[in-house]
Amino acid sequence: MAEEQTVQSEETQEPRERLDPETRARRDGALRHVRKYGDPALRTRARPVEVFDAALADEVRRMGNLMDDAIGIGLAATQLGVMHRLLVYRVDPEAPLGVLVNPEFEYKSEELETMEEGCLSLPGVGVEVERPAEVRVRATDETGAPIVVEASGLEARVIQHEIDHLDGVLILDRTSRDQRKQAMRAMREAVAGGSPPDSPAVSA
């Protein structure tokens, strides 16, 4: 039976109203670059990266900066309308930026965990998603050097969330029908509110 927890995957749990004006403005500016639900890019499978050059390094830096400014902990290239199999993440604020290019799962544990996830592309939405508790991913870094990441807990969840984005899959596809209906209502209310709201537990 899956262990139930609540966490925030793509976005940290800092309430928007507690942010100082400069941080809030930076966050709102970053979120304007993120494609939102209904954008075709979010339903498109990304293409493998074949060229590892200065442009890719710049793309990684831009994604990392936007993710940090949005107070997020994960971001996929497709969320910015770039069809590259590339994601960045940083679960621990003190950790270096994690970069996975052309990621592929080598292992997913049979043990499952259920946590509430949000998404920078789904304003105001939080739904429970069941995922493997541990994963091993083979990828390359932005220079093309091969890497293997073994992750558990929140890190594993964020990586799975972002790889879903690269495959055109959203958290709405991984939750119950009732939660999906509630999520759609929450998004409509968020859009009607006119400003980027807080996303719940795991936001990426």
Residue 91 DSSP symbol: S
Of 10, 50, 162, 189, the active-site residue reads 162
As a whole number of angstroms, the distance between CA 89 and CA 72 comes to: 8
Identify the three-state secondary structure at position 39: coil
Distance, in Å, from the CA atom of 76 to the CA atom of 53, rounded to the nearest integer, reads 19
Q: Phi then psi for 9, rounded to 5 degrees?
A: -90, -50
Give yes or no: 17 in active site.
Answer: no
Rounded distance, CA 36 to CA 50, Å?
27
Residues noted as catalytic: 162
